Structure 1
Amino acid sequence: MTGTTGIQQTVTEVLDELRTLDDPRIRAVNEKHGDDHGVNLTALRAIAKRLRTQSDLAGALWATGDTAARLLALLICKPKAFDAMELDTMIREADRPKVHDWFVNYVVKKGAHAEDLRAAWMADPDPVVAAAGWALTIDRVTKAPDDLDLAGLLDTIESDMGTAPPRLQWAMNTCLATIGIESPDLRSRAIDIGERLRVLEDYPTSPGCTSPYAPTWIAEMVRRRQA
């Protein structure tokens, strides 16, 4: 009982600190992207560095449902301590884009269940969960593509990406571009799919940044590698 009280008190203190760091201007920018917090991520990382790894505190922060608290939880948890069922539950709770992204990249990819979950999540009817499966697949395309059916992935992208919900569509488009960049034999087909579906063709891109439109993205990355 004493330990639980101590954790709860610490959670309250951390939440209070996060509230003092909430900047309305940052929140307004984040809300345009679906994230409901206003904490500068550099400041958030500084708190995580101070707290170091604390699994119990991470679990308690995640349980609050607060976006900034969940981001902090992902920075101080032990990724390899989660079993597959816990990870599956958490991805279904990761309803904000930044939480979703950090959870996949900072926790799932570093654990022992990434490959099993990748296959299960890609087939999940929930598009947010499926997007996580595609994000893990992108990592495989880049690092360990030998036993992946890349042509089959392109088949799925070609048939489903055009009508997919935004977060899933973004992940599938990223996979399309990654296949085109990493697999010369499939590059022409990847570009052709991108040109026909025209997904993210008009996405606003800041000067100096590469467009997420797959044909442009593929061409630019290939050019850089050949330079």
Structure 2
Amino acid sequence: MTPTDLLRELESLGTEQNRKIYARHGVNAHQFGVSYAELYKLQKRIKTDQVLAEALWSSGNHDARILATLIADPAAMTARKLDAWVNDLDDDVLGGMFAKLVGNTSTARQRADQWIKSRTEWIAACGWNVLAHLAMNDPGLEDEELAARIDAIEAHIHERPNRVRHAMNGALIAIGVRNSILEKRALAAAKRIGKVEVDHGATNCKTPDAAAYIRKTVEHQRKKSASRR
């Protein structure tokens, strides 16, 4: 399948309703409005294709770029390529999907560390989203490092741009559900941080209360673990 063929297929799968929904979520780039159900079907069919992923990303089309994050080969995503792609981000939807891809690469920790320091909103938000992914999936991360991230979140969350605040709040939650030691530290920080204000635009999305979300998730994990015994 050529990139041109796939772009035509994506266009045929788009709907006006989805375009309106995505627009409310800040997707301003050229888009077809393809549902995630259809995108995941395409991912299942294509599997991994780095060449096709790069062509889709280069198209500039939002749906094509979402699919690119699903079929790209994490092993082929070099630091240079990741840095190039992150500079193309301009909405939270694509940023979240891209962060998942980055989280599966060998340079994920380095990218997160670099990007969270960025003054560019989408890059910094992506960095924190990558950190959240690592907190939930990388057993090699030391508690001391994640504790330092909690301290940084507490110290700076209210002064960072809108979407960075949202991503930092998500990272605090992800770190807090990792283990009991970090849970206590994250809960204490969340109490001191208080309410995190995020403008979600014309959507019904709400910013989760970190402490409540951590407690709920940990309780769910405990019940799930108990049921397996």
Short-chain TM bin: 0.7 to 0.9
Higher-Rg structure is 1
Q: Which range is displaced more, 111-120 or 81-90?
A: 111-120
Query: Alpha carbons of 1:184 and 1:125: their partners in 2 closer, same or farther (altered >3 Å)?
Result: same
1:118–1:133 contact (8 Å) kept in structure 2: yes
Matching residue of 2:97: 102
Matching residue of 1:127: 121
Q: Which range is displaced more, 186-195 or 14-23?
A: 186-195
The answer to whether 1:199 aligns with 2:196 is: yes
CA apart distance, 1:118:
1.9
Q: How far apart in 2 are the matches of 1:82 and 1:96?
A: 21
Q: How far apart in 2 are the matches of 1:21 and 1:157?
A: 40
The answer to whether 1:61 aligns with 2:61 is: no
CA deviation profile, 1:105-157 (whole Å, cap 9, x unmatched): 1x222222112212211222222212222222223333334254333222211
Residue aligned with 2:170, SS: helix
Structure 1 alignment gaps of length 5 or more:
1-6
Q: How far apart in 2 are the matches of 1:166 and 1:28?
A: 22
CA deviation profile, 1:64-121 (whole Å, cap 9, x unmatched): 100011112222222211211111110111223222222221x222222112212211
Picking from 149, 153, 166, the partner of 2:149 is: 153
Q: Which runs of 4+ in 1 moved over 4 A?
A: 200-206
Residue aligned with 1:124, SS: coil
Query: Alpha carbons of 1:91 and 1:202: their partners in 2 closer, same or farther (altered >3 Å)?
Result: closer
Query: Alpha carbons of 1:76 and 1:155: their partners in 2 closer, same or farther (altered >3 Å)?
Result: closer
Query: Alpha carbons of 1:47 and 1:180: their partners in 2 closer, same or farther (altered >3 Å)?
Result: closer
CA deviation profile, 1:16-35 (whole Å, cap 9, x unmatched): 22112111112212222123
In the superposition, the TM-score normalised over structure 2's length comes to 0.80
Q: How far apart in 2 are the matches of 1:148 and 1:61?
A: 39
Q: How far apart in 2 are the matches of 1:15 and 1:186?
A: 44
2:133–2:174 contact (8 Å) kept in structure 1: no
Query: Alpha carbons of 1:19 and 1:129: their partners in 2 closer, same or farther (altered >3 Å)?
Result: same
2:151–2:189 contact (8 Å) kept in structure 1: no
Q: How far apart in 2 are the matches of 1:52 and 1:17?
A: 16
Q: Structure 2: which amino acid aligns with 1:199?
A: V
Query: Alpha carbons of 1:161 and 1:146: their partners in 2 closer, same or farther (altered >3 Å)?
Result: same
Q: Which range is displaced more, 121-130 or 63-72?
A: 121-130
Q: Which range is displaced more, 29-38 or 178-187?
A: 178-187
Superposition pairs of residues 85-96 of structure 1, within 5 angstroms: 85-96=80-91
Identity of aligned residues (%): 30
1:173–1:199 contact (8 Å) kept in structure 2: yes
RMSD: 2.7
In the superposition, the TM-score normalised over structure 1's length comes to 0.81
CA apart distance, 1:161:
0.9
Structure 2 alignment gaps of length 5 or more:
224-229
Matching residue of 1:30: 22
Matching residue of 1:16: 8
2:147–2:185 contact (8 Å) kept in structure 1: no
Q: How far apart in 1 are the matches of 2:52 and 2:205?
A: 38
